[in-house]
Amino acid sequence: MPMSDLAELIKTGAETLKAAGIPEPGREAASLLAFAICKDRTFLIAHPENVPDKAASDRYLKFIDRRAGREPFHYIVGTKEFFGLDFKVSPAVLIPRPETEMLVEQAVDFLAGRMGAVFCEVGVGSGCISISVLIHSPHANAVGLEISDSAIVIARENTSIHGVEDRLDVRKSDLFASLIEKERFDLIVSNPPYISIADFARLEPDVREFEPQTALTDQGDGLSVIRRMVKNAPGYLKEDGLLIIEIGYDQADEVVDLLNGGPWKDVAARADFQGIRRTVSAVFDKMKHW
């Protein structure tokens, strides 16, 4: 039986993905084929008649089957671009999303000009947030807290890939538990599990069935981790230190109310380009704390 050329493989793969309900099946099929044969998309366009060897074709067809089963594309290829950088990902960590780049932008803006600044990320996951901030804040250092051992492995690999392993201290921790009492930070950032269990049930299967559930939902109303963070963060912030939290699409009012009731000032919710209030930030007011 003759082997299929690149054009035929893309067509076959796209048909399979379309039948499985995958958006943009042609684009994903081509990307998976390029990954399988270790070439870029330009090669596919320039050489549609090329016939890859059997091992590469078989590898591609396995990738197509996995994607048709709704396994996320980025888990199959093992990387995801975020804030202009490529990060290793696996089912141990969330796949970085474009909306989370807002968190990085705010952190970088806040740290600008603060020589010797140290920040803390709660729930470091793949490390994409802390590493991106460090790359754009060369004067800063960070501590990344993470409860998942398998996520810590990925985060540390990414620190090595991006050359910040000596600037990002990744520790196993349930929220702030591993910090010592005297540790204080200029900034605390977090993308916590804020999806309610009701909303979690309605997520696309790509997310619901493959991404780490503990990083997505608190199994409750989506605010339990945020409540704990708001309550305990003042004990680890310097005076006038900043807390920035990514939140759910409908949580801004509740999180703002939580912060307004504590030792905080300059509480603000920031909207993304779609008008969704995506982050809430507040400055620690030491005078209110006491």
Query: Quick check: 20 pLDDT over 90?
Result: yes
Query: Quick check: 202 pLDDT over 50?
Result: yes
- Cβ neighbours of residue 105 under 8 Å, at least 6 residues apart? none
Query: To the nearest whole percent, how much of the chain has pLDDT over 90?
Result: 92
Q: What is the mean pLDDT of residues 232-241?
A: 95
Structure-block tokens of residue 88: 């290793």
**Selection from 160, 135, 13 nearest residue 84 by Cα:** 135
**Selection from 107, 238, 138 nearest residue 183 by Cα:** 238
Rounded to two decimals, the pTM is: 0.94
Radius of gyration of the chain from its Cα atoms, rounded to whole angstroms: 21
Using pLDDT thresholds of 50, 70 and 90, give the confidence band for residue 2: low
Query: To the nearest whole percent, how much of the chain has pLDDT over 70?
Result: 99
Q: How many CA atoms lie within 13 A of 208 on its CB side?
A: 11
**Selection from 235, 88, 83 nearest residue 158 by Cα:** 88
Q: How far apart are CA 14 and CA 267, in angstroms?
A: 48
Burial of 54: CB neighbours in 10 Å, binned 0-12, 13-18, 19+: exposed
User: Quick check: 113 and 87 in contact, CB under 8 A?
Assistant: no
Q: How far apart are CA 64 and CA 67, in angstroms?
A: 5
Q: Please tell me the predicted confidence (pLDDT) of residue 181.
A: 76
Q: What is the mean pLDDT of residues 240-246?
A: 97
Q: Please tell me the predicted confidence (pLDDT) of residue 36.
A: 97
pLDDT tens-digit readout, 51-65:
999 999 999 999 999
Using pLDDT thresholds of 50, 70 and 90, give the confidence band for residue 1: very low
Q: What is the mean pLDDT of residues 64-87?
A: 98
Query: Quick check: 180 pLDDT over 80?
Result: yes
Mean pLDDT of the chain: 95
Q: What is the mean pLDDT of residues 219-242?
A: 96
Beta-bridge partners for 85: 82
Q: Please tell me the predicted confidence (pLDDT) of residue 290.
A: 52
228-to-154, 176, 177, 218, 268 alpha-carbon distances in Å:
25, 10, 12, 12, 19
Q: How far apart are CA 245 and CA 191, in angstroms?
A: 6
User: Quick check: 189 and 129 in contact, CB under 8 A?
Assistant: yes
Identity at 76, one-letter amino acid code: I
Beta-bridge partners for 187: 119, 242
Q: Please tell me the predicted confidence (pLDDT) of residue 118.
A: 98
- Cβ neighbours of residue 36 under 8 Å, at least 6 residues apart? 52, 56, 57, 59, 60, 63
Q: Give the H or E element holding residue 131.
A: helix 128-135
Burial of 21: CB neighbours in 10 Å, binned 0-12, 13-18, 19+: exposed
Q: What is the mean pLDDT of residues 162-186?
A: 95
Query: Quick check: 99 pLDDT over 90?
Result: yes
- Cβ neighbours of residue 8 under 8 Å, at least 6 residues apart? none
**Selection from 182, 184, 174, 179 nearest residue 218 by Cα:** 174
